[in-house]
Amino acid sequence: MLDYLYPVDERALFTDRDHYLGLLELCCTELQQDRRKHLALLGLRRIGKTLILKEFILRWLQRPTAPGAPPVLPIYVDLKRLGLSPESFAVEYVGSVLYWFLEKGQGRWDDYARLPTLLRAASTLGNPRVLDMVLELDADLRQQVIPQRRLLELAFNFPEVLAREQGVRFLICIDEFQDLGLLSNFPQVGDVLDIFRALLQTQSAVAYVAAGSAISLMEGIFHQARSPLFVHFRSERVGPFGRAESEELARKALAGEALPAAAAQTLYDWTHGHPFYIYAVAERMRELILLSGRAADAQLVREAFVLETLSSAGRIYNLCRYVIEESMGQARGQALLRLLLQILAESESPLTLTEIAHRLRRPAGAARALLNRLGQVDLVAQIDGAYDLPDPVLKIWLAYFHAGVELLTVPRREILEGLVADMAQRYQRLSSELGLAKESQACRELSRTVREVMAAFDGRLAPGRLFGRTASGAGAVQLPVFTRVAAY
């Protein structure tokens, strides 16, 4: 089952994520009781959103339907694989719905991306209303002036009609949901999210899960009041693994090879719990263990990380390069933006707007505009008034990339050891900076709490026992009144 969508080797690596699986199950059980719950999953690229969807679909299809409850069928739609013209999208979206309804994930779905297959599939159902919708789709595509908006309305409404006619419910999981907005580029269409919302509000047999890695775009779609889908979806941020989950995934990738505690801790510290980075480094470790006969230890973790991150053949290197090129392709003014990224990557701690403007040699307003552009493509995040790259590993890769460091596939031993030592020092400095930042933040929070308590005294009476007075002489103590409470 799902052999093409979710190969067996991927399933073997799936780790944790029980919270998100539970939310998806809740969407299905609520739908069975005619209560719709729409969910949005947001997270960095390769953080595991797609695997969560695939794992849930596999488990749900293997689970028997409760007696008396209508069956809920999951549908997986990856917008990266669909044509994003109204004509192609309408055919392939309807085809995806029919594929999952008829095949339930068995075999390949691409046959259902062609109109003749849709016509044959709709005919076999023996349902006039479903067949009429596919025939209408075919007729619209044959018109001299194709009604693009009407095609999208028909496509978005098709799952509801099919579900009602066949007595089922659908949970439609749309991956890379933010790409749906590309359909708005066609003049006839207008705002595609407005079309989607209008149909969503008329449906009762279909619930939706939207997943996307363009976090700023996804937040704009689901969190901003001007968006048609504002407050229609419950949003969840998919983050990195914790220490235990990171070790569990690494052990699965190492396929039985030993992983000492110190090595597991180094792997977690250097990858920051990002599942793809953990897997890539663990795979490289296994390769080094099998080829050289070395045992896994913290030094092997560091070497594998450097090879994966700084070698042009490394998976982390290629993912980081893809993220930068893909994101920069969507941003204007690339020369200054690249310089700004370089400045942030070379700094071992987040930078304030003033510091950035000074290093850019630009006014603060111009620097803020550049930061906003990078924020819109998820390359920069603002935390506690300072700016930094949200992905620490991407930041490290970018710093070395701008320094011209790129390894051969098999570098000389002394070069590799030198880079490992250099990167280890960098991580140590970053850890120290983080510790100081956390300590400073804790001090600020404590100071604020003390000031709030002092301001609340306000001449009130407090029991004497709180100040160590004996029972015989206990009496109320009047607290002082502070005319001004300020940070020291």
pLDDT in tens, the chain (488 residues): 688 899 999 999 999 999 999 999 999 999 999 999 999 999 999 999 999 999 999 999 999 888 888 999 999 999 999 999 999 999 999 999 999 999 999 988 888 999 999 999 999 999 999 999 999 999 999 999 999 999 999 999 999 999 999 999 999 999 999 999 999 999 999 999 999 999 999 999 999 999 999 999 999 999 999 999 999 999 999 999 999 999 999 999 999 889 999 999 999 999 999 999 999 999 999 999 999 999 999 999 999 999 999 999 999 999 999 999 988 877 666 788 999 999 999 998 899 999 999 999 999 999 999 999 999 999 999 988 899 999 999 999 999 998 888 887 678 888 888 999 999 988 887 766 555 444 555 555 566 667 667 767 777 777 777 666 655 555 777 878 877 776 55
Angle, vertex CA 55, rays to CA 204 and CA 85, nearest 5: 60
Distance CA 486, CA 488 (A): 6
Q: Beta-strand (E) ranges in 299-411?
A: 381-383, 386-388
Beta strand 386-388 with 72-78 is unpaired
224, 218 in Cβ contact below 8 A?
no
> How many CA atoms within 13 Å lie on the side-chain side of 18?
2
> In the structure encoding, which two tokens stand for residue 258, read together?
């030993």
Q: Beta-strand (E) ranges in 205-299?
A: 206-212, 234-237
DSSP state for residue 172 in the 8-state scheme? E
Q: Is 481 exposed, middle or buried (0-12, 13-18, 19+ CB in 10 A)?
A: exposed
| Cβ-based neighbours of 89, under 8 Å, separated by 6 or more | 82, 83, 151, 152, 155, 183
Distance CA 236, CA 230 (A): 14
Look up the CATH superfamily of 8-237: P-loop containing nucleotide triphosphate hydrolases (3.40.50.300)
Taking each helix axis from N to C end, the angle separating 18-32 and 49-62, rounded to the nearest 10 degrees, works out to: 50
Q: Which CATH number fits domain 318-402: 1.10.10.10, 1.10.645.10, 3.40.50.720, 3.40.50.300?
A: 1.10.10.10
> In the structure encoding, which two tokens stand for residue 188, read together?
């006839």
Angle, vertex CA 152, rays to CA 35 and CA 132, nearest 5: 85
Radius of gyration of the chain (CA): 28
> What's the gap between Cα 321 and its chain centre?
18
